[in-house]
């Protein structure tokens, strides 16, 4: 499916690399802070000091997962829907991306947090549910637009159309 007019999206492998880097940097940062805040009952300055460690532990998995697998599958799944405007396209694409990234990243984070113990499955399911709801909203309304805006300025790509 050709994206609708007005969609800002990478067109080459180099552009995909830049777009994915921006998106993963933003999303892993926000999700690391969010999960730290959930674990500790809210944000604090101490958590802002701790998030770099959480980021460094998660980004090496998030980037290749997003770049090599999720982008391609989310694109193929999104192509099944006939959309006429860019908002529908972004929501569908974000939905498939979060649907694939969230279980894997939540599983990995759960492993880092509790290990493979008897608590793993309940903690993972809880973490995945909470993370999915937050990740979808923040991706659609905040980080997706921010990623596309930064990408458009860095790469100087014009919207399709």
Write out pLDDT tens, residues 77-106: 999 999 988 899 999 999 999 999 999 999
User: Would residue 57 count as lying in a domain?
Assistant: yes
- The answer to whether 67 touches 22, Cβ cutoff 8 Å, is no
Q: How far apart are CA 24 and CA 64, in angstroms?
A: 10
User: Would residue 5 count as lying in a domain?
Assistant: no
pTM: 0.90
For residue 161, the model assigns a pLDDT of 61
User: Would residue 145 count as lying in a domain?
Assistant: yes
Look at residue 107 and tell me whether its pLDDT is greater than 70: yes
Cβ neighbours of 76 (radius 10 Å): 11
Range 9-15 average pLDDT: 90
For residue 63, the model assigns a pLDDT of 97
Look at residue 151 and tell me whether its pLDDT is greater than 90: yes
Provide the domain count of the chain. Answer: 1
For residue 93, the model assigns a pLDDT of 95
- Percent of the chain clearing pLDDT 70 (strictly above): 97
Q: How far apart are CA 149 and CA 159, in angstroms?
A: 11
Range 62-67 average pLDDT: 97
| Per-residue model confidence as pLDDT tens digits over 23-36 | 999 999 999 999 98
pLDDT band at residue 2 under the 50/70/90 scheme? low
Which two tokens mark 1? Answer: 């499916």
User: What range does the domain containing 53 cover?
Assistant: 13-154
User: Would residue 7 count as lying in a domain?
Assistant: no
């Amino acid at each position: 499916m050709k994206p609708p007019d007005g969609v800002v999206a990478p067109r080459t492998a180099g552009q995909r690399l830049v777009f994915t880097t921006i998106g993963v940097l933003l999303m892993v940062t926000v999700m690391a802070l969010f999960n730290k805040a959930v674990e500790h009952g809210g944000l604090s300055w101490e958590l802002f000091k701790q998030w770099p460690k959480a980021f460094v532990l998660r980004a090496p998995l998030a980037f290749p997962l997003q770049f090599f697998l999720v982008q391609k599958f989310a694109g193929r799944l999104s192509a099944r829907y006939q959309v006429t405007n860019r908002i529908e396209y972004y929501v569908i694409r974000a939905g498939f991306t979060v649907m694939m990234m969230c279980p894997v990243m939540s599983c990995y984070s759960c492993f880092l947090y509790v290990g493979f113990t008897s608590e793993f499955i309940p903690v993972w399911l809880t973490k995945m549910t909470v993370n999915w709801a937050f990740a979808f909203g923040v991706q659609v309304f905040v980080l997706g637009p921010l990623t596309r805006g930064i990408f458009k300025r860095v790469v100087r790509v014009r919207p399709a159309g």
